[in-house]
Amino acid sequence: MSRRLSNKRSTRDRSKCPDVRIIEAAVSKPIQILLLQIDIKEKELEKNFELKTIHELIALYSKAIESFEINEDLRFHEIQERMHKMLQKPQVTQALNPQKYTKKPPRPKPKLEIEILEEDDPDIIQKRINSERNRKIIDQGLIRDLEAIMDRSLNEKVNKISEIKIAYEVQMRELEGQGEIEGQQGLIVKVMEQMKYDMDEEIEKVSQELDLKRQEEIRKLREEYVKINM
């Protein structure tokens, strides 16, 4: 008889355990809205390659990748690829590293002199080739460093959010066990509702802090590349 009651109670306890996927859905922005925002922002970027638009699109990519990874959705690879292609666009590279593209052009030389230099001076030709090669290397380095910042920021955010959720989930499960005490059910429900609210607040705070950290790292990276091209 005692074994039968124990089985019933364990079944009831398991049914009360909060589903992690439900919690995750409650604290994350609907992915459909994020994908729509990304589509709109990508079209906006095609019309105007402003630095503000680029940063906004990077932030949307990060949120989508984070949501997919938390829910173990393989579509995060697709978003990563879209972000990579965006960063490789010449207009984006120019916006992120404007100093290199806004240098004052040298005084124009007579056409005949230019033709002589280009045809007969191998040093000038080699310098031009080296300059173009260095520009491509710097652009590729900027893209790699940006992607490294994005990956590092994303991994840190996913890990932090997971730690917060696990900590609250453990506490809520312990409270559910105490809810069997007669007269305590209502109080337990209120406490758990407050805990879910606190969890949302803590996740939002951590997300904002890490977003600011990522933006600061990108700003410093841009400054470094501007110095390289001065």
So what's the pLDDT on residue 224?
77
How many residues in total does the chain contain? 230
Contacts 24+ apart (CB under 8 A), 45-49: 45/86, 45/92, 49/89, 49/91, 49/92, 49/94, 49/95
Question: For the whole model, what pTM was predicted?
Answer: 0.49
Task: Report pLDDT digits (tens) over 163-199.
Answer: 999 998 888 888 877 666 556 677 788 888 899 999 9
Tokens in use for 90? 């010449």
Please provide residue 75's backbone torsions phi and psi, each rounded to the nearest 5 degrees: -65, -10
Q: Note down the domain range covering 110.
A: 2-228
Instruction: Please check whether residue 29 is in contact with residue 203, taking contact to mean a CB–CB distance below 8 angstroms.
Output: no
Tokens in use for 35? 């994908």
Q: At what angle do helices 185-228 and 20-27 cross, to 10 degrees?
A: 60
The number of domains in the chain is: 1
pLDDT class of 138 with cuts at 50, 70, 90: low
Does 18 score more than 60 pLDDT? Answer: no
Q: Could you write out the DSSP letters of every residue in 7-32?
A: HHHHHHHHHHSPPHHHHHHHHS--HH
